[in-house]
Structure 1
Amino acid sequence: MKKIFLFIILLLFLVPNCFCLSGKNKEDLSTLIKKEMNQKNIVGLSIAVIDDHDVIWSEGFGFADRDKQKVATPETVYCLGSMSKLFTDFAILQLYDRGIIDIDKPLQTYLPDFSIKTLNKNQKDITLRDLICHCSGLPRDFLKDGHGKSHVDFSAEMDNNFLKELSETYRFSSSDPIYAYSNIGVTLLGLLISKKAGEHFVSYMDKYVFFDLKMNSSSFRLTTRLNNFVSKGYTRGVEDRWFAGNYYPASALNSSVLDVSNFIKMIFAEGVFEGKRVLSKDLVKEMYTVQNSENLFDFGFKMGLGWKLGQFDANHKLNYSGPIAFHYGFVTPFNGLVVILPECKIGVVVLLNSFPSGGLSSQIIFEVLSLILKQKNLENSNVQTDDLQNYDCDGSKVEGLYNLSAGVAEIKKQNGKLIFESSQKSFYFSRNSETGFYELCNLDGSKASKYSDLGFRFENKAEHDFIIANENGRNFVWGLRIDTPNYSNEWKERAGVYQIINLDGGDANLGDIAIKFDENRNLMFFAYSYPVALTPQKDFLLSPINNDLAFLNLLPLGKESGEALEVIKEKGREVLLYLGYKLKRTV
């Protein structure tokens, strides 16, 4: 008996101190989740919380199928959207680990058929690391066949068509690497995997990634077996579903919170899953190590190998000074978030079947992590934020026209105030003496609610003048000062309404397409809505290169980053090319 007692004592010292959420903790969190789901019209949600090698809480809320009253559970399968990229990136890192590829070699080493236009002949080759870190200069999306209402059976022919059509678009032409999120980039990694494996990407991932991690409810293809677990989707409470098309390696993975938990447990075990090494310890660490610290225009935004790094919630700052890695996922109407704290081995994944979600996944994960960090005594109020000490706060030097992520605005001095004037409304910048940031205020002096979470500074780098927004410690480019573009008569005459003429049976990923000419400001815009995300029509400044080529946003300023609008002649008439779509004017 004494030996048994001593053995138990020894085990208590050897077994990691795994945290357990109490019944009261789970009850309080469940109450919060149910309340927020009701307020935000969320039909179904699943959550899993991981501490080291254990799932310490997993639960489903609401319905996976409301009509059939089928409840959501931890086993419910959702489309992961952009979280799919983590697994495509992981497969690439495995091939790198085995010496089959080198992520620092040009993409064309492995995909010789890849080509894309560029105006900068001195631009460096795109490497696999660039694609993983979204620093390739590729557009975000290739919209033709990008999403659709019908499920696509992915094929080699589809992959070949994608490469051929991609060769007709442009890479934006900055000489310096810049973070610019790209579904195209990760899709190319998927095609590379197919080529090196000698089999289709989908089957390769099933056999060599999901099988090894015992992710038995995960696949990029909706199989008959998976369909028994797949949740319905709901947009504003109405059943709805969009499917990923040509960039499926970037956004089409179907999985559950329990399967994703296995991936997280592998990371916490430094590349080992259930006794089998699936990735080297060094590469696991590099996944959440900053890769873009030398990118001139990233302004403190941090990217690892596949994972974004830093604070994940725009409205709350987690009191934790260690590394935080996260990735959001969205493909209408599914969305979610996975967050890991790799040093203390805590992770949370939340998946939802409803859109819009009002930021519910980040809100839940923030509450869960805050609770665990507090109870583990791991909270630290000295949270590092991006270094802004060298930013120029002298407003007298920043007057001019600024290209924003959507539209333009003018900054000018007027009656002692620094006025920010957009086409919709005017504000003024007021400097906060405590933070050093500028804040946007309404002309009556009240704080502008639309921008209440943002602080602004001005920065000059490489002869570019930027407005840098800071949101809860994270920086991003919000505006770029520009000269007023010079529009030829040819461009002015193209103002009008346009329609897509090459849908080829697919669903339109753009709507309300138009070229606008603002005579008062002598500016032209390319405008469209984005029905996949319920985004209303937005205006994007056109910057002409010549009479037949213009770009949207010359540097990454949100979704549209250096994307080309090209004029071609087809059967004697002008047609516009935009990310795979051919557009003709109707009015």
Structure 2
Amino acid sequence: MFHALRLPLLGCLLGGTGCQALPVTPAPDIRQGDYSELIVYLQEHIRQQMQAHDIPGLALALVDDQQVIWARGFGYADRERRIAASEYTAFRIGSLSKPITASLAMQLRERGALDLDAPLQSSLREFYVRSRFHTDQAAADRAITLRRLLSHQSGLPTDHLEGQVAKLPLPLGELPALASGTWLSHQPGTQTVYSNLGYALVGAAIERTSGCEFEACAQKSLLQPLGMRHASFLGNSGQQPYRARGYMKGKPSADLNIRDLSAGSLWASPVDLSHFVQMVFADGRYQGRQVLQPASIQEMLHPQNVGNALDLDSSIGLGWFLGTYGDELATPGLRVVEHSGSTGDFNAQMTLLPEQRLGVVVLTNSDSAAAVTSQLASLSLRLLLQARDGKPASPPGPPRRTNRQRPSPQDRQRLDGRYATGSGLIHIRSQGERLYAELSGLRVELLRDDEGWLRARKKLLGLWPLDLGELGRLQLDVVTLQGRQALVGRQHGQTLFIGERVDAMPIPREWAAMVGDYRIAGGKDDALSLSLRLEDGFLLARGRSAGEPIGDYILHPQDSAHATLAGSGRGLGDTLSLRPDGFEALGYRFVRTDKKP
């Protein structure tokens, strides 16, 4: 809720020119079986990107089936102490922890200790949910299963914010009781909506079922059998000399402990994760030991969300995001298995081609490295394919120039409105004979291309077209999905749900009286804060985190005591409950900071 979230097709709208495609030096001709040219090229490319984006440290591993082709560190694990990064440096990998957690759950399932399709309450009896989608409380609780948690289809909110990070370690086992009574944000089993809370509860269920703390269970069952010597879910960079220091805006980060270990707290090196990749490629086997059964690996890589209309081309397995497409740097048409991770001060990417048994791990210790990690992974895979198969897999050339025309009056009228997305409110409005889209201070004109899709255009001083990078290549439109006017985007052959149109609705006087400024009770001055205001019949919430704006969101009152963040998707659908001194949401209590009208 109120996070600076990035959706795959929408993040560029928040960054403006920050989403320009990364410059890539033309790759060399690579002979079949010759990885030396690949390594020489990547070394220079990585140094260029690190300098251009002020990335202190980066480390990667390239895997060809059961062989690590290359693993290397660049820059600094700790810039102030001049500690160099290496392939054995452990970085915090954020949500890249989730495939590891899913593997632990599958191990318990193999032993008959966990049932993926049983209600979560079978393992965590104290956990229950509140639902506006069910009339029967028991039915709502039964709808929360491990399979839905592992595939982000549980309907739970993205996070339970209170106590998520702190200076002192917080027990994962206390979370089920703390989060009990959480309101569902979406109807379970109907849409894939990313949830860290869901994976944290999976970790709590693993603890409860195995009878040991999550870290001990992970070490014994998976990390040690895979030889992941520097991997651990506990602690921070100050506790181990081989751990990297994270950086935010070029400065060392606070490096706090993460309560939700199983969702995003793992520390691991590229070498550690290369062992995990080898295990996946070998159908669960590593150095003669069957760590996971082949059937478990196959099920984790099998789509779990078939039939979800709002998911469109998004496909998800158990712990993995799946695709059958390529991006601008990988050969299109290949089956891709991937996961990324970010804790703000660290960014990570792991991308696999399961049929070709090629994989890449990229880890960085900077908030400025998100685009670098994903594009470096794609570039490395393209070069690996070329080196192994001897067939050039060149990225496509510049986008084909297309004729663009202004939408018709009827088209402009149909599209005009406010659209709720996880990155904030997009306002599409007709002005004269033109159509514009506005999000977080960025305003672009929308034109129809030759294929009938909407494309963004922006001119400097209204005269000279600007290169909008990925945003300029993104194709948009509004379609009807399950009775909703959905804003969708197409990029690299994939169509994804971005947001939905939201119309004004009556606002009860209890919620109209909430207009004003709020902060988290007991929070620091730079912690999450927000303001509520009325505008054109909408009740809008504008959030700020650490002083930075994080977009506008529409509140839809459900009754005199509850309202939801309008829309479907990550960070949306969450419930706010009125209190005498403010309101409560996702474990946080917000109190008024201005004088009540």
**TM-score normalised by the shorter chain: which range applies?**
0.7 to 0.9
1:431 maps to a residue whose letter is: R
Match of 1:144 among 162, 179, 193: 162
2:518 corresponds in structure 1 to: 498
C-alpha distance in structure 1 between counterparts of 2:55 and 2:529, whole Å: 28
CA distance in 2 between partners of 1:356 and 1:215 (Å):
27
The answer for the alignment partner of 1:103 in structure 2 is 116
Residue type of the partner of 2:538? Answer: L
**Aligned-partner Cα distance in 2 for 1:492–1:76:** 53
Q: Tell whether 2:225 aligns with 1:205.
A: no
CA separation of 1:153 and 1:413: change in aligned 2, threshold 3 A:
closer
- 1:456 alignment partner, one of 459, 470, 476: 476
Structure 2 residue matching 1:449: 3-state secondary structure: coil
SS at match of 1:229: coil
Describe the shift of the 1:509–1:54 C-alpha distance in structure 2 as closer, same or farther (beyond 3 A): farther
Residue number in structure 2 paired with 1:3: none
Give the structure 2 partner of residue 8 of structure 1: none
Residue 526 of structure 1 corresponds to 541
Kindly state the Cα deviation for residue 164 of structure 1 after the two structures are TM-superposed.
2.4
- Whether 1:217 and 2:230 are equivalent positions in the alignment is yes
Deviations 1:302-351 (A, max 9, x none): 1111111227987x252142311111111131111011111111111011
Secondary structure at the counterpart of residue 561 of structure 1? coil
TM-score in terms of structure 1 length: 0.85
Does residue 365 in structure 1 map to residue 377 in structure 2?
yes
Q: Give the equivalent residue in structure 2 for 1:468.
A: 488
Please point out which of 361, 364, 377 is paired with 1:352. Answer: 364
Please give the per-residue CA displacement for 1:212-233, whole angstroms capped at 9, x wherever unaligned: 1111111112399970211112
Q: Which amino acid aligns with 1:488?
A: P
Offset at 1:234?
1.5
Mapped partners of 1:83, 1:28: distance in 2 = 27
2:518·2:592 contact (CA, 8 Å) conserved in 1?
Answer: yes
Gap regions ≥5 residues in structure 2: 1-30, 397-407
- Select between 335-344 and 483-492 the one with higher mean Cα deviation: 483-492
5+ unaligned residues in a row in structure 1: which ranges? 1-17, 384-392
Flag the 1:448–1:469 CA change in 2: closer, same or farther, 3 A: farther
Contact 2:563–2:575 at 8 Å: present in 1 too?
Answer: yes
Match of 2:419 in 1: 402
Deviation for aligned residue 1:359: 0.8
**What are the superposed Cα offsets for residues 451-508 of structure 1, whole Å, 9 maximum, x if unpaired?**
31310122212211111012322332223122212212221221111122255xxx78
Cα shift at 1:514: 1.9
Structure 1 position 567 matched with structure 2 position 550: no
Name the residue aligned to 1:300.
Answer: 313
SS at structure 1 position matched to 2:339: strand
* CA–CA separation in structure 1 for the residues paired with 2:394 and 2:241: 46
Quick check: 1:320–1:379 contact (8 Å CA) kept in 2?
no
The residue identity in structure 1 corresponding to 2:571 is E
Does the C-alpha gap of structure 1 residues 579 and 19 become closer, same or farther in structure 2, counting only changes over 3 Å?
Answer: farther
Q: Distance in 2 between matches of 1:33 and 1:420?
A: 35
Distance 2:74 2:58 in 1: 5
Range moving further from structure 2, 223-232 or 546-555: 223-232
Structure 2 counterpart of 1:128, one-letter code:
L
2:234 and 2:261 in contact (8 A); partners too: no
The equivalent position to 1:430 in structure 2, one of 444, 447, 450, is 447
Cα separation, 2, equivalents of 1:80 and 1:51: 22
Q: Which residue is 2:145 aligned to?
A: 127
Instruction: Tell me which residue corresponds to 2:405.
Output: none
Q: Secondary structure at the match of 2:369?
A: coil
- Matched position secondary structure for 1:359: helix
**Residue of structure 1 equivalent to 2:6:** none
**SS in structure 2 of the partner of residue 194 of structure 1:** helix
Distance, in Å, in 1 between the alignment partners of 2:426 and 2:206 is 44
1:46-65 matches, within 5 Å, as 46-65=59-78
Structure 2 Cα separation of the partners of residues 425 and 49 of structure 1: 38
Whole-angstrom distance in 2 between the partners of 1:509 and 1:205: 35
Cα deviation, 1:364-388, whole Å, max 9, x if unaligned, reads 11221111212314667999xxxxx
SS in 2 for 1:159: helix
Alpha-carbon separation, structure 1, partners of 2:120 and 2:581: 34
Alignment CA distance shift 1:159-1:371 (3 Å):
same
- The percent identity for this pair of structures is 27
Are the counterparts in 2 of residues 19 and 51 from structure 1 also a CA contact under 8 Å?
no
CA deviation map 1:83-103 (0-9, x unaligned) = 111111110011112222221
Q: TM-score, normalised by structure 2?
A: 0.84
Structure 1 position 21, deviation (Å)? 5.3
- What is the Cα deviation at residue 36 of structure 1? 0.8
Which of 503, 507, 520 is the equivalent residue of 1:483? 503
Taking the aligned partners of 1:327 and 1:522, their CA distance within structure 2 comes to 40
Question: CA 1:218/1:174 → structure 2, altered by over 3 Å: closer, same or farther?
Answer: same
Provide the C-alpha distance between the structure 2 equivalents of 1:418 and 1:65, rounded to a whole number of angstroms. 48
> Which amino acid letter does the alignment assign opposite residue 375 of structure 2?
Q
**Other-structure match for 1:282:** 295
Deviations 1:139-198 (CA, angstroms, capped at 9, x unpaired) = 1111111123x2x3343xx522x2223124311243661111100000000000011111
What is the match of residue 517 of structure 1? 534
Which residue, out of 41, 44, 47, partners 2:57? 44
- 2:94–2:264 CA contact under 8 A, matched in 1: yes
CA–CA separation in structure 2 for the residues paired with 1:229 and 1:176: 41
In 2, the alpha carbon distance for the partners of 1:404 and 1:208 equals 39
Q: What CA distance in whole angstroms lies between the structure 2 residues aligned with 1:252 and 1:413?
A: 45
* Alpha-carbon distance in 1 for matches of 2:301, 2:526: 33
Q: Work out whether residues 287 and 304 of structure 1, in 8 Å CA contact, stay in contact via their aligned partners in 2.
A: yes
Amino acid at match of 1:356: S
Q: What's the Cα RMSD here?
A: 2.9
Question: Residues 173 and 266 of structure 1: is their aligned pair in 2 closer, same or farther, counting only changes over 3 Å?
Answer: closer
Partner residue in 1 for 2:209: 196
| 2-structure distance, mates of 1:255, 1:418 | 47
The residue aligned with 2:588 is 581
Question: What SS is found at the alignment partner of 2:419?
Answer: strand
Give the aligned partner of residue 159 of structure 1: 173
Counterpart Cα distance in 2 of 1:56 and 1:423: 43
Counterpart contact for 1:144–1:509, Cα < 8 Å = no
When residues 230 and 553 of structure 1 are mapped into structure 2, their CA distance, relative to the original with a 3 A threshold, is same
Q: Is the 1:79–1:334 contact (alpha carbons within 8 Å) kept by the matching residues of 2?
A: yes
SS at match of 2:558: strand
CA contact (8 A) 1:218 1:255 kept: yes
- The alpha-carbon deviation at position 111 of structure 1 amounts to 1.4
